[in-house]
């Protein structure tokens, strides 16, 4: 159960601080309103740093089903642990999102645009194109997973500070690849809060965009598989 709670807490922190910065920047009557994309990408990077740092010792800090899939395919995580990881990640993502809502309840009440409200929960594409959106999430996640695999290799590891290069990697992905879809690169990060968006009694929240919801799930999982294939090829 230590693995479950460590992964749960780490993912909850990830979403609380990650979607928290989105809420701060785009919701009306927030002190961070208008901070822009740079603030959001830095906030998400720091969210990753905190989530990874606090959960690394207990669960290995996957915080992402795509990472869990990659680690399992590489034999670093047993298949029997996959359901535990996934349950912790999705539960943690939903808990973190509920905390974002509690913190910003006043600002949600002052925001009437449904797309803005949904953006503090989950991602959506700037240009809706199924193939392009899928490829974007696939590539972004492949970069994430491949980077994590190299950064945490014994010869490159910084020990307890492995969270820092991973956070910088997520910052780079957000700055360079985040424009088309908002760089979900994590099925739990997108689907968990999307479920919360659907369930919460928010005024003006609009629809949860379920027609798009499969892309931030399938794209990252495919990206994880691609990353493992490339990693194995480079380490033959």
Separation between Cα atoms, residue 144 and residue 140, nearest integer Å: 6
Q: For the chain, what is the mean pLDDT?
A: 95
**pLDDT value, residue 73:** 97
Per the CB < 8 A criterion, the answer to whether 33 and 50 are in contact is no
Residue 155 has pLDDT above 70, yes or no: no
**pLDDT value, residue 78:** 96
Separation between Cα atoms, residue 122 and residue 217, nearest integer Å: 12
Residue 1 has pLDDT above 70, yes or no: no
As a whole number, mean pLDDT of residues 78-100 equals 98
Could you tell me which residues come within 8 angstroms of residue 233 by beta carbon, excluding any fewer than 6 positions away?
Answer: none
Q: How confident is the model at residue 160 (pLDDT cuts 50, 70, 90)?
A: low
Q: Is the pTM for the entire model greater than 0.85?
A: yes
Per the CB < 8 A criterion, the answer to whether 144 and 169 are in contact is yes
Separation between Cα atoms, residue 74 and residue 33, nearest integer Å: 43
Residue 152 has pLDDT above 90, yes or no: no
Tokens of 199: 């369930």
Q: What is the CATH number of domain 2-234?
A: 1.20.1080.10
Tokens of 137: 């999430």
| pLDDT one-digit tens code per residue, 172-219 | 999 999 999 999 999 999 999 999 999 999 999 999 999 999 999 999
As a whole number, mean pLDDT of residues 106-134 equals 98
Q: Where are the alpha helices (DSSP H) in 27-162?
A: 37-59, 65-73, 82-103, 105-109, 114-119, 130-151
As a whole number, mean pLDDT of residues 29-55 equals 97
Residue 157 has pLDDT above 90, yes or no: no
Percent of the chain with pLDDT over 90: 93
**pLDDT value, residue 162:** 78
Q: How confident is the model at residue 97 (pLDDT cuts 50, 70, 90)?
A: very high
The secondary structure of residue 1, as a DSSP letter, is: -
Percent of the chain with pLDDT over 70: 96
Separation between Cα atoms, residue 162 and residue 61, nearest integer Å: 10
In this predicted model, which residue has the larger pLDDT, 161 or 15? 15
Domain boundaries, the chain: 2-234
């Amino acid at each position: 159960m230590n693995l479950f709670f460590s992964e749960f807490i780490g993912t909850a922190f990830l979403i609380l601080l990650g979607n928290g910065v989105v809420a701060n920047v785009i919701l009306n009557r927030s002190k961070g309103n208008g901070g822009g994309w740079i603030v959001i990408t830095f906030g998400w990077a720091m969210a990753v740093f905190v989530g990874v740092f606090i959960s690394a010792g207990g669960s290995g800090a996957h915080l992402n089903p795509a990472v869990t899939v990659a680690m399992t395919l590489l034999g670093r995580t047993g298949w029997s642990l996959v359901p535990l990881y996934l349950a912790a990640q999705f539960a943690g993502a939903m808990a973190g999102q509920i905390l974002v809502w509690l913190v910003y309840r006043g600002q949600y009440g002052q925001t009437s645009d449904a797309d803005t409200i949904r953006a503090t929960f989950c991602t959506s594409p700037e240009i809706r194109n199924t193939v392009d959106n899928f490829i974007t999430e696939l590539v972004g996640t492949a970069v994430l997973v491949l980077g994590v695999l190299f950064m945490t290799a014994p010869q490159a590891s910084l020990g307890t500070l492995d969270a820092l290069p991973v956070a910088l990697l997520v910052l780079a992905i957000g700055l360079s690849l985040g424009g088309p879809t908002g760089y979900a690169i994590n099925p739990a990060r997108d689907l968990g809060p999307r479920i919360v968006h659907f369930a919460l009694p928010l005024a003006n929240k609009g629809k949860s965009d379920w027609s798009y919801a499969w892309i931030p799930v399938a794209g990252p999982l495919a990206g994880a598989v691609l990353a493992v294939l490339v990693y194995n090829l480079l380490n033959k």
